[in-house]
C-alpha cells in the first residue's frame, strides 16, 4: 500500500511538473528519457545541462562504491551544427573507495562523445530516421581492447513518425539499439516509445517508453524558450531528473 501511494504521488508530481520540449536525454542528444528517436534538435541549438541518474539507470559494472551501485549525475555540452547532425560531450561522475575501511572517495569521470545523424527527414507518409553512436571516439580507437571500458557505448537506428490531430501531436518511435560491451546487454534489441504534446501547451511533452528491459514514464518541457526540464520514472518507482539551458546559436526562436 505504501509503495502504491508513493507511486501515485510520483506520477501526480510528474504530471504537474512540465518537462522537455523537442528532446533531451541524459546524453544531451534528442530522444526520450532513455531511448533515441528519429527526430533532431533544431539547427544551431546548443545545450548545456545536467541530469540526475538513479542507480537503477546505471550500468551494472563500473559504477560501484563499496561493491554497490550508487546514484550519480552527468553533465554535458551538446550542439546541432547542421539540421542533420547532433553532437554531445558527456561526463558522468564516478566514485570509488580508495580505502575500503575508511570509505575514502576517489573521484573521476567517465567521458564520451555522442554523434547522431539523420539521413531521412520525416515526410507525409514516412518517418524520420536517425542513426547514432555513443562513445564514438573510444569505440573507433579502442574497440578491440577489452581493458578499455565503454560503459555507454551503443549504436542505434531509430525511426519516428508524428501525427497531428486537433492541434495535439502524437509521436511514435521504434529503434534498434546495440551496446558493444556485455554489461548493458539488457538494453539491447528493439526499443520504442510514444509521446504526446497537447495543443494547449505544446512545449510540454508526455512520454512512455520501453527500453528493452523496463518501462519508463516521463515528461519534459521547454520554459521561457531556454530552460529545459525533464523527469522520468523507471518501472514507476526510480526517478531521474534533468535540466539544461538551451540557446539557438543562429538566433532563431522555436516554441519547442
Partner 1 sequence: MFHLNASPRRRSLIVGFFALIFLAGQPQAKGQDTSPGIDFFSGINFSFADMNFYRQYDVLLHLTPGFKWNMGHHWQLTGQAMIPIVNTFGDEYKYTQIGAFNISKEMRINKLYLKATVGVFDMYRYGADLKTFVTLSDNLAFEAQAGYVGVLYLDPSPHIYKPDRFVWTVGGDIYLPRWNTQFRGTVGRYLFRDFGWEAEAMRHFNHTTVSLYGRWSGVYGLDGGFRIVIMLPPYHRKHRAVNFRLASNYRMSYTIMYKNYANCMYHTDPEQNERDGWFSRDLLHWGSHTMEPDFIITNKSEQQ
Alpha-carbon torsion 76, 116, 256, 212, what sign?
Answer: negative
* Residue 107 interacting with partner 1 (CB under 8 A): yes
Task: Tell the smallest beta-carbon distance from residue 155 to partner 1 (Å).
Answer: 17
DSSP 107-168: EEEEEEEEEEEEEE---SSS-EEEEEEESHHHHHHHTT-TTS--TT-EEEEEEEEEEEETTE
Segment interacting with partner 1, rule: CB under 8 A, options 5-13, 79-87, 178-186, 226-234: 79-87
- In the set 12, 13, 66, 148, which binds partner 1 (CB under 8 A)? 148
Binding mask 35-64 for partner 1 (x = CB under 8 A): ---------x-x------------------
Task: Tell the smallest beta-carbon distance from residue 111 to partner 1 (Å).
Answer: 6
Q: Please tell me the distance from the alpha carbon of residue 134 to that of residue 154, in angstroms, as a whole number.
A: 5
Segment interacting with partner 1, rule: CB under 8 A, options 147-155, 168-176, 180-188, 199-207: 147-155
Task: Tell the smallest beta-carbon distance from residue 164 to partner 1 (Å).
Answer: 30
Q: Report yes or no: 170 and 49 within 8 Å, Cβ to Cβ.
A: no
* Residue 74 interacting with partner 1 (CB under 8 A): no
Q: Please tell me the distance from the alpha carbon of residue 45 to that of residue 79, in angstroms, as a whole number.
A: 6
* Residue 26 interacting with partner 1 (CB under 8 A): no
Q: Please tell me the distance from the alpha carbon of residue 228 to that of residue 78, in angstroms, as a whole number.
A: 13
Contacts of 144 (CB under 8 A, 6+ apart): none
Here the cell at position 185 is: 546487454
Nearer to partner 1, 105 or 170 (CB): 105
Task: Tell the smallest beta-carbon distance from residue 79 to partner 1 (Å).
Answer: 6
Contacts of 33 (CB under 8 A, 6+ apart): 25, 26, 207, 209, 216, 218, 230, 232, 240
Q: Please tell me the distance from the alpha carbon of residue 31 to that of residue 55, in angstroms, as a whole number.
A: 20
- In the set 11, 56, 64, 91, which binds partner 1 (CB under 8 A)? 91
Nearer to partner 1, 40 or 216 (CB): 40
* Residue 111 interacting with partner 1 (CB under 8 A): yes
Contacts of 176 (CB under 8 A, 6+ apart): 156, 157, 158, 189, 190, 191
Site for partner 1 in 193-252 (CB under 8 A): 249-251
- In the set 8, 9, 12, 109, which binds partner 1 (CB under 8 A)? 109
Nearer to partner 1, 126 or 247 (CB): 247
* Residue 89 interacting with partner 1 (CB under 8 A): yes
* Residue 103 interacting with partner 1 (CB under 8 A): no
Q: Please tell me the distance from the alpha carbon of residue 77 to that of residue 46, in angstroms, as a whole number.
A: 7
Q: Can you give the binding site for partner 1, defined by CB under 8 A?
A: 44, 46, 79, 81-82, 89, 91, 98, 106-112, 135, 137-138, 148-151, 249-251
Amino acid at each position: 500500500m505504501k509503495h502504491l501511494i508513493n507511486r501515485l504521488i510520483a506520477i501526480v508530481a510528474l504530471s504537474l511538473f512540465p518537462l522537455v520540449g523537442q528532446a533531451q536525454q541524459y546524453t544531451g542528444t534528442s530522444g526520450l528519457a532513455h531511448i533515441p528517436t528519429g527526430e533532431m534538435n533544431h539547427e544551431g541549438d546548443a545545450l548545456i545541462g545536467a541530469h540526475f541518474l538513479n542507480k537503477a539507470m546505471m550500468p551494472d559494472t563500473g559504477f560501484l562504491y563499496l561493491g554497490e551501485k550508487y546514484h550519480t549525475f552527468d553533465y554535458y555540452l551538446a550542439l546541432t551544427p547542421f539540421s542533420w547532425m547532433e553532437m554531445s560531450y558527456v561526463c558522468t561522475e564516478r566514485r570509488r573507495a580508495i580505502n575500503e575501511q575508511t570509505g575514502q572517495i576517489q573521484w573521476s569521470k567517465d567521458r564520451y562523445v555522442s554523434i547522431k545523424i539523420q539521413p531521412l527527414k520525416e515526410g507525409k507518409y514516412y518517418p524520420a530516421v536517425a542513426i547514432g553512436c555513443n562513445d564514438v571516439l573510444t569505440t573507433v580507437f579502442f574497440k578491440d581492447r577489452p581493458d578499455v571500458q565503454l560503459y555507454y557505448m551503443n549504436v542505434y537506428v531509430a525511426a519516428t513518425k508524428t501525427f497531428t490531430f486537433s492541434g495535439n501531436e502524437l509521436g511514435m518511435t521504434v529503434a534498434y539499439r546495440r551496446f558493444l560491451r556485455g554489461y548493458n546487454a539488457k538494453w539491447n534489441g528493439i526499443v520504442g516509445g510514444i509521446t504526446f504534446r497537447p495543443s494547449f501547451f505544446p512545449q510540454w511533452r508526455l512520454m512512455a517508453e520501453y527500453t528493452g528491459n523496463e518501462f519508463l514514464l516521463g515528461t519534459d518541457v521547454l520554459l521561457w524558450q531556454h530552460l529545459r526540464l525533464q523527469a522520468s520514472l523507471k518501472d514507476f518507482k526510480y526517478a531521474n531528473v534533468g535540466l539544461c539551458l538551451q540557446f539557438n546559436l543562429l538566433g532563431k526562436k522555436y516554441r519547442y
